[in-house]
Amino acid sequence: MTLFNYASQVATAQATKQAIEKITVSKPDLTVEQAYEIQKISIEQTLTAANRFIGWKMGLTSVAKQQQVGVDSPIYGRLTSSMNLITNELTAAEYIHPRVEAEVAFVFKKALFGANLTPLDVWDAVESVYLALEVIDSRYQNFSFTLPDVIADNASSTKILLSAQAFSPYALDWSAVEVTLKLNGEDKLFGQGAAVLGHPIYSVIELLTMLEREGRGITPGQLVLTGGITDAIAVEAGDVIEADYGALGKLTLNVK
């Protein structure tokens, strides 16, 4: 099959919520570069006037996650407007095997492009910071994949819940932000912003370095999910998941 065929396969799996065999079973020589091309094509196939491209997400932003996959750098995916959750409800039957993780997200007021940018360059372009829950849902059977597979599957991107409150980028040290992820009232996971490449700002710098390879960057108004502060928790109908960011507030997702 061509890369376009694989992209159509992934897009169909996303639309129908039917798990597929990972691409590397039929194409074991799939490269990272080819996987990003599949990602790009599959997302472009979903874009409409009602589903716009809105930004980027980072994945594998902790050393532990990179070691699990056997890599030494993060990956990225694409975000579209249909991924935004308007309410704090998630219908489990609409997904294959959903999981939820806590993050922080940046919205940009200025364009950024190129490698070798500094934190000062990035902060100057950030308009606001949001607390975020990301729902990930691999389209592969058994949530099992290789690095090229997960890249082709848009880094498992599915849904985003942002805080109603926007924060100044200078409100606090975002590497020190703490979050407890609770499932049905029970503390499950704890993390700090430093789990994201030492500081979420470095996640954006890594993103821009990778985007430069395909001649892309961040444009004004775009959103960037910087990566999981905690690991992801599997959820099912009836679950309530809460991310408690202390004095910054809480995000709650009710799974129906």
Per-residue pLDDT tens for 138-169? Answer: 999 988 888 999 999 999 999 999 999 999 99
pTM for this entry: 0.95
Tens of pLDDT, residues 58-112: 999 987 777 766 777 899 999 999 999 999 999 999 999 999 999 999 999 999 9
Q: What angle do CA 208, 219, 5 make, to 5 degrees?
A: 70
- Give percent of the chain above pLDDT 70: 99
Q: How far apart are CA 131 and CA 245, in angstroms?
A: 8
Tens of pLDDT, residues 219-255: 999 999 999 999 999 999 999 999 999 999 999 999 9
Domains of the chain: 3-255 (3.90.850.10)
Contacts of 77 (CB under 8 A, 6+ apart): 39, 56, 57, 59, 151, 154, 155, 156, 157
